[in-house]
Amino acid sequence: MEKVLEVNGLTKLFKNGRGIRDISFDVYQGEIFGFLGPNGAGKTTTMKIITGLSRADRGSVKIFGYDVLTRFEEAMRKVGCIIETVESYEFLSAAKNLEMALRYYPGLDKSRIHEVLELVGLDKYKNEKVGCFSLGMKQRLGLASAILSKPELVILDEPANGLDIEGTVDIRNIITRLAREQGITFFISSHMIHEMEITCDRIGIIEDGRIIRTGIVRELLDQYSSLEDYFITQVREDRGRIA
């Protein structure tokens, strides 16, 4: 399979001593790769470096073979992302928000707005102001914005964070459908182990700023009763080695 995302030796340390250390992993075309770890483990820091929002102390990132530092525009041309929070103009409708975003993609027709709203289940609410939306609806709109440009890689930081059960299931179903039906590659972070087990093809476990394991989910479930069992086992073993 073709490598879509290559992360090699990323290190970024903050003044308080926290950060990430020697993060390395690959994401392959068409898969859903889950970045699993507790809050504060370094998931968002890694994603910010990958998307050019922050700079590493050392290490490299390549997207579709292009180095993010030296060839940023080429690297990000086929990428859609949501890092940390979904941003939107609450005084505008869902359709108008996407119309504003569409200006950055002159090659796309306005029909794309209807298409993505339909994909995320918001088409019937397209003329409602975003300020009246629930958190789940705002997350769906954020996802619509992330896929507006017809990206081949979508990077989502905690896409189900703060959602109720129904909203979480909706976001999961949208991601899996886009991956299976349109071949979009997803790199998603989360601390929600059960969701990662259901959603992802492969996972990378990050703990205290370090990648401690990567694996294919279905193979892990052949050896462990659940992804939670695998996660706890690996974290305890890693802490035992450090101690």
Structure tokens, 119 = 């994909």
pLDDT band at 4; cut points 50, 70, 90: very high
Residue 162 pLDDT more than 80?
Answer: no
Predicted local confidence at residue 242, as pLDDT: 60
pLDDT band at 186; cut points 50, 70, 90: very high
From CA 90, how far away is CA 92, in angstroms rounded? Answer: 5
Residue 22's contacts (CB-CB under 8 Å, 6 or more residues apart) are 9, 10, 11, 59, 210, 211
Average pLDDT for 26-55:
93
Q: Which residue has the higher pLDDT, 107 or 7?
A: 7
Sign of the dihedral defined by the CA atoms of residues 78, 83, 85, 88, in that order: negative
Average pLDDT for 112-138:
91
pLDDT band at 131; cut points 50, 70, 90: very high
From CA 50, how far away is CA 68, in angstroms rounded? Answer: 7
pLDDT band at 229; cut points 50, 70, 90: confident
Identify the CA nearest to 62 among candidates 213, 206, 70, 34.
70
Predicted local confidence at residue 136, as pLDDT: 84
Tell me the pTM: 0.91
Predicted local confidence at residue 243, as pLDDT: 52
Only one residue has tokens 């820091």, namely: 45
Residue 74 pLDDT more than 90?
Answer: yes
pLDDT band at 221; cut points 50, 70, 90: confident
Mean pLDDT of the chain, nearest integer:
90
Q: Percent of the chain having pLDDT more than 70?
A: 98
The conformation of residue 125, written as its DSSP 8-state character, comes to G
Identify the CA nearest to 22 among candidates 68, 57, 52.
57
Residue 236 pLDDT more than 70?
Answer: yes
Identify the CA nearest to 233 among candidates 220, 222, 243.
220
From CA 57, how far away is CA 126, in angstroms rounded? Answer: 43
From CA 4, how far away is CA 76, in angstroms rounded? Answer: 11
pLDDT in tens, 196-206: 999 999 999 99
Average pLDDT for 20-47:
93
Average pLDDT for 162-175:
85
Average pLDDT for 186-194:
91
Predicted local confidence at residue 86, as pLDDT: 74
pLDDT band at 170; cut points 50, 70, 90: confident
Predicted local confidence at residue 232, as pLDDT: 85
Kindly report the length of the chain: 243
Strand pairing of 58-63 and 210-216? unpaired
29 three-state secondary structure = coil
